[in-house]
A and B are shown apart, each in its own frame.
Chain A
Amino acid sequence: MNYALNGRLGTGRLAKRTTRAGLQALSLATFALGWELLARRLDSLLLPGFVETIAALVRLLTTSLLWEAVWLSNQAMVLGFSLAAVFGILLGLLMGRWRPAARYLDPYLNILLATPKAALIPIVIMATGLGLLSRVLITFSYALVVITINVRAGLSLIDPGWIEMSRSFGATESQLWRKVFIRGAFPAILTGLRLGLARAVSGMITVELLLVALGLGRLILDFQGRFDSGRLYATVLVVVAEAVALLQLFRWLERRVAPWAGNGVDR
């Protein structure tokens, strides 16, 4: 019944995808144009034009200044995020499958969820100093909660019928975890990781701007201090670009490993 159907939907989706890409390009172009026009109109030192920013960006990209900052900032971010991924997934799995653990940990999760995390930064720095450790801990705390919550939510979508079916075919406890719980929660785990990554990037920049002048945050502060608005905007663009690129990568991964979760017909 459905080969013809799939074919039709397939071309339909392609057309949809090109339209979407076109609209996104249009949106970005309008933004750049608006920016450029506004900057020319204001003609202020404080607002560089789009073209000027891109030129500054190109120059920055060829210096080691930027790359060292990127490297320094991302060290803490990658470490903090990786830790948050490990702990978040474990906590989420534990809370999702074992009610006492959920009850026990819920208050802490809610506190972490409700607290503006920037408020934690001074505390963490008081406790651990200005080194790598404090930045790792901060990005960790930014990313942890959202990962935990998503993993747990993913497990709640596991149908008890799948568990019973697996048992009836003789599944062991470890097979159940691997082939049902984790497999079934996989899209939610990836979503949690994607959102956690966004939080980690924002944690990384916040701490560098707020307290530990270092890496990209330091660059931003420096350029701001020197009224070097071209490079300031260029650095911010780098941060935005990194965040967007990482998120897109995860989006793509999600679609790759979890085709059933999408609304496509045949992939």
Chain B
Amino acid sequence: MGRQRGGPVIELRNCSKRYPSQLGQAAVDALEGVDLTIRPEEFVCLLGPSGCGKTTLLKAIAGLVSLDEGEVYIDGDLVTGPGPDRAMVFQDFALLPWADVVTNVAFGLELRGVPKATREKKAFELVQAVGLAGFDHHFPRQLSGGMQQRVGLARALAVDPQILLMDEPFGALDALTRRLLQEDLLTLLDRRRKTVVFVTHSMDEAVRLGDRVVLMTPRPGQVRDIVEVGLPRPRPPDLEKHPRFAELLEYLWQQLREMRP
């Protein structure tokens, strides 16, 4: 809202995170010296093997995890906690089971003290926008996984963040639902222009969605490589046929294979 073209820059400087040892378990170095600059209105995908610290990195940007070393800056401001400029979408949806769709979508606004009528109007619009018209008063357990994540997405968009942080949002969905949600996400973002940091396990997904793909090494997570996707936007429906698509997948696969322990 009223934001100048360009949006915020996210800068991670030398970020390290160690989870201290607990009850007989060794301490875990989740991140080590991560430097990364995310450009305004860019869609960045974080790709890397399981346990390499992708979620930790995303939470550091969200302000949910305190780093042991290094800092995160958004437009030059040090991140010390969650803020209204960021919203997160979770792998397991994190919907409140006692709240219907509209109330779930409005939850972020509710926490920010937006009056009921205003926030429900906004939530109602977003329910339509994510393709859930008519499901306003259903409860999460009455929805399929794909529909639940649409609710999660609507909740994040409802607070109108400049930065969208998505942690394997489609990881729990079947292949077909996943493709549909990928397409719908791109359409939604087309009209909203946000900076997106998107964690995924899937090379295919990273290439379909991202402007750049950040490849991370196994634990402790470091940035191994950053790949410019360079595929046209809006992404054509037959993206697979693009020679660049196959080339990128091949390259990412090589890189990931070399990292195999």
Contacts and interface: CB of A to CB of B under 8 A. Distances in A.
Interface of A: 2, 159, 161-162, 164-171, 175, 179-180, 183-184, 186, 258-261, 265-266
Nearest to B109: A169
A159 B90 CA distance: 13
B50 to A, nearest CB: 18
Nearest to A172: B111
Contacts of A166: 107, 111
A170 B98 contact: no
Given A169-B87, A170-B111, A179-B110, A164 B92 contact: no
Interface string B70-98: 00000000000011101110101010111
B82 A170 contact: yes
A183 B139 CA distance: 15
B142 A169 contact: no
Interface of B: 62, 64, 82-84, 86-88, 90, 92, 94, 96-98, 107-108, 110-112, 138-139, 141-142, 159
Contact of B82 (A2, A159, A167): A167
A170 B88 contact: no
Contacts, number: 57
Nearest to A263: B141
Nearest to B94: A165
Contacts of A171: 111
A134 B86 CA distance: 57
Given A159-B94, A161-B94, A186-B98, A168 B142 contact: no
Contacts of A260: 97-98, 139, 141
A2 B142 contact: yes
A4 to B, nearest CB: 13
A214 B181 CA distance: 69
Contacts of A167: 64, 82
B110 A258 contact: no
Nearest to A6: B142
A74 B41 CA distance: 66
A161 B142 contact: no
Given A164-B64, A260-B141, A265-B142, A169 B94 contact: no
Given A168-B62, A168-B88, A162 B94 contact: yes
B112 A169 contact: yes
B112 A258 contact: no
Contact of B90 (A165, A259, A265): A165
A162 B96 contact: yes
Nearest to B107: A169
A161 B92 contact: yes
Contacts of B92: 161
Nearest to A257: B98
26 contacts: A2-B142, A159-B94, A161-B92, A161-B94, A162-B94, A162-B96, A164-B94, A165-B90, A166-B107, A167-B64, A168-B86, A168-B87, A169-B107, A169-B111, A169-B159, A170-B83, A170-B84, A170-B111, A170-B112, A179-B107, A179-B111, A180-B96, A184-B98, A260-B97, A260-B141, A266-B142
